[in-house]
Amino acid sequence: MQFRDIIGHDLVKAHLISTVRENRVSHAQLFLGPEGSGSLALALAYAQFINCENKAEFDSCGLCSSCRKYNKLIHPDLHFSYPFIAKHKEDNAATFIENWRKAFLNNPYLSLENWRQQLDADNKQVNINIAEAHEIIKKLSLKSFEAEFKVLIMWLPEYLEKEGNALLKLIEEPPEKTLFLLVAENQNKILNTIISRTQLVKINKLSHQAITSYLIENKNLEESEARDIAFIADGNVQEAINMIDTQTNNHFNLLVKWLRLIVQDSGLNIISICEEELAKLGRENQKTFLMYAINIMRQIILIKLDLSNLVFLSAHELDFVNKFATHYTIEQIEETINLFETTHYSVERNANPKILFLDLSLQLVLMFKYKTFPKGTQYI
């Protein structure tokens, strides 16, 4: 993985390259960025650049022995750790390394959900267990085989839980020429004792334009289609890829139809659309539909704040948000976003879609009809 292969993040790339050029490589770094932003790919490109045998000015060469092995994820001094489902207490990340290589090489922007699918996880919980912590200590206590640096890239240390305490001394006082790169999405779920021992590399979500360009150049989409998908994906490359794979970028008509029934408090029709249309979308389509709805609501807030210059919508979408914005308060729209996000979370965890969307619809009826919404209220 080379820096040039990664979408956007020019400032982050420049910073990482400068730390190597100026011999300021911190032994423990936390790459913190939202899902689908490319944090994991950046960490790998950074490690490859550090160990490249013939560095160019702004990237690894891609051709030396080290780079060729990095490109296949088979370098003996490159180690990965990630959440998995242990069938036996001695299972560790290496047990699933072939699944990992396949998943990452197919899509370096992969999400936890896509990784779980590689593991046939169903509803089982993933984590990084104590056996994996012990294996990390064992591997990193050995001398390097070929490269100057031994590198451990840990994806989603949020799933390390209390087992991470076994690694504290190693992270704080690692063997010489050992590099820890932790790649996380939610800082609040990481052990504070680990955060305090790492240097933060903040990675922002990608711009709509960056994803639009990526979809045009790499997925052969027309500009209008790429722009629509980038808008819904909201900086998440994985989400954009999911939408292409499932062809779920045409949610506007369904959203307008559903919201119209809600504001009209059309009970039987609400039940019908929840059972016959929303529940039958399938989980991935339901997630992208909700993300699209969230983004539309965010555009409405921008309109109400007189920030129309930040709104990028097609003509029919813009007409809808302008009309919708005149009827409801910012507080109502914000609460609507919260409800959509809560529902998205439940969809990811395989909640019953008929009950889920009906419950959501009835909560929205109450809020839109009576202008107030007591938080925590549930219909069913």
Domain boundary among 202, 223, 240: 202
Strands (DSSP E) along 50-207, which ranges?
A: 78-81, 150-155, 178-184, 199-202
Q: Which tokens in the block code for residue 230?
A: 């980038």
Residue 311 domain boundaries: 250-370
pLDDT in tens, 127-184: 999 999 999 999 998 888 999 999 999 999 999 877 778 898 888 888 889 999 999 9
On whether both 65 and 160 belong to a single domain, the answer is yes
Residue 262, pLDDT > 50, answer yes
* Reported pTM: 0.73
Picking from 168, 183, 202, the residue at the C-terminal end of a domain is 202
Q: Is residue 38 part of a domain?
A: yes
Q: Mark whether 137 and 256 lie in a shared domain.
A: no
360 lies in the same domain as 300: yes
With left for phi above 0 and alpha for psi between -120 and 50, is residue 122 left, alpha or beta?
left
Encoding tokens for residue 194?
């680990």
Structural domains of the chain, count = 2
**3 state DSSP class of 127:** strand
**Has residue 202 got a pLDDT over 80?**
yes
In a domain, 274, yes or no: yes
174 and 263 in a single domain? The answer is: no
> Are 148 and 265 contained in the same domain?
no
* Assigned domain for 234 exists: no
Handedness of CA 338, 343, 344, 345 (dihedral sign): positive
Indicate if 191 and 73 belong to the same structural domain: yes
Confidence of residue 372 (pLDDT cuts 50, 70, 90): low
CATH code where residue 99 lies: 3.40.50.300
Q: What CATH number does residue 310 fall under? A: 1.20.272
Domain-terminating residue out of 202, 235, 259: 202
* Separation in Å, CA 162 to CA 157, 315, 318: 11, 51, 48
Structural domain contains residue 212: no
Structure tokens of 227? 């722009």
Nearest to 350 by CA among 68, 116, 22: 116
Mean pLDDT of 315-322: 86
59 lies in the same domain as 162: yes
Separation in Å, CA 43 to CA 152, 229, 325: 10, 26, 42
Give strand ranges (E) for the chain: 28-32, 78-81, 150-155, 178-184, 199-202
Q: What pLDDT digit, counting tens, does each position of 17-64 carry?
A: 999 999 999 999 999 999 999 999 999 999 999 999 999 999 999 999
If you search the block for the tokens 């979500």, which residue do you land on? 205
Does 20 share its domain with 154?
Answer: yes
Confirm whether 139 is domain-assigned. yes
Residue 16 and residue 165 in one domain: yes
Mean pLDDT of 316-323: 88
pLDDT at 248: 45
pLDDT tens string 236-247 = 999 888 877 655
| Same domain, residue pair 31 and 127 | yes
123 and 27 part of one domain: yes
94-138: pLDDT as tens digits: 999 999 999 999 999 999 988 988 887 666 788 999 999 999 999
Burial category of 204 from C-beta neighbours within 10 Å (exposed 0-12, middle 13-18, buried 19 and up): middle
Evaluate whether residue 284 is within a structural domain.
yes
Distance CA(299)–CA(295), nearest Å, equals: 6
Within 25-170, strands assigned E span: 28-32, 78-81, 150-155
For 232-298, give the DSSP string: HHTT-HHHHHHHHHHT----HHHHHHHHHHHHTT-HHHHHHHIIIIITTS-HHHHHHHHHHHHHHHH
Same domain, 100 and 186: yes
Quick check: is 10 in a domain?
Answer: yes
Distance set, CA 279 to CA 309, 361, 374 (Å) = 36, 12, 26
* 241 found inside a domain: no
Cα 211 from Cα 311, distance rounded (Å): 17
User: Terminus-to-terminus CA distance in the chain, angstroms?
Assistant: 49
Whether the pLDDT of residue 78 is over 50: the answer is yes
**Do 46 and 119 meet the contact criterion of CB atoms below 8 Å apart?**
no
